[in-house]
Amino acid sequence: MNMASINNNDQGMVLLIDKPFRWTSFDVVKKVRNAMKIKKVGHSGTLDPLATGLLILCTGPKTKTINQIQDQEKEYQGTFTIGATTPSYDLETEIINLKEYGHITTEMIHKAADQFTGWLDQIPPQHSAIKKDGQRAYVAARAGKEVVLEPRKVEIKVFEITAVRLPEVDFRVVCSKGTYIRSLARDFGEHLGTGAYLSALTRVRIGAYHLDNATTVAAFLETLKS
């Protein structure tokens, strides 16, 4: 099994999991916790249900390292779709606000990306797990209530456009803890004047931990049977 930093159960384990599409991060935690029959399992950095890629789980004493791991920089690959928006900034909600994008050129796409590097004030999505007045923001948002969230300082270290096939734009982003790629999609679309939403996302790295060294949930559960 190709996984990094796995120790025995007494010492705890750091598990690199390739999160499946449409699973929540807690779905993965629950599956591993039940399979291993242990209580202490946590993850270092939530992935949205529609995102895939690297999810780091810590068990037992290793849960003490969660904050240290999730403070490290993150790297993502994904796709924005321009010419429309969604309330959640991804495909969890309906596509709205269709706009013409035929005038957008590859040069304009690259110039727009240049505006979103360095330290930025980023407003998190209303459809997020951030707590506002004691309630998760997404709970209020799904109930049709408007949630006003405060901007956060985040750092976009790299924002590279890797392919343009309009209306889709592929990208690679290296960023700080707390960065919402969905919010980056929204801001990117607003800058272009066309709107945009996140249509695909994979987390490929957290610090020195890489998706290449991760395993699937199913493969990990198989190792527990041996």
Average pLDDT of 62-89?
Answer: 96
pLDDT > 60? residue 194 = yes
Average pLDDT of 123-135?
Answer: 73
Which residues, in sequence order, are bridge partners of residue 17?
55, 215
- Is 27 considered catalytic here? no
Under DSSP, is residue 113 helix (H, G, I), strand (E, B) or coil?
Answer: helix
Distances (CA, A) of 222 to 20, 130, 172, 216, 218: 16, 34, 32, 10, 6
Q: What is the pTM of this model?
A: 0.90
pLDDT > 80? residue 1 = no
Between CA 142 and CA 138 the distance in angstroms is 6
Contacts of 81 (CB under 8 A, 6+ apart): 167, 168, 169, 196, 197, 199
Minimum mean pLDDT range among 50-64, 77-91, 116-130, 151-165: 116-130
Q: What is the pLDDT of residue 128?
A: 66
pLDDT > 50? residue 125 = yes
Q: Long-range contacts for 222-226 (Cβ within 8 Å, ≥24 apart)?
A: 223/1, 224/35, 224/36
- Among candidate residues 18, 48, 90, 187, the one labeled active-site is 48
Mean pLDDT, the chain, whole residue set: 91
pLDDT > 80? residue 5 = no
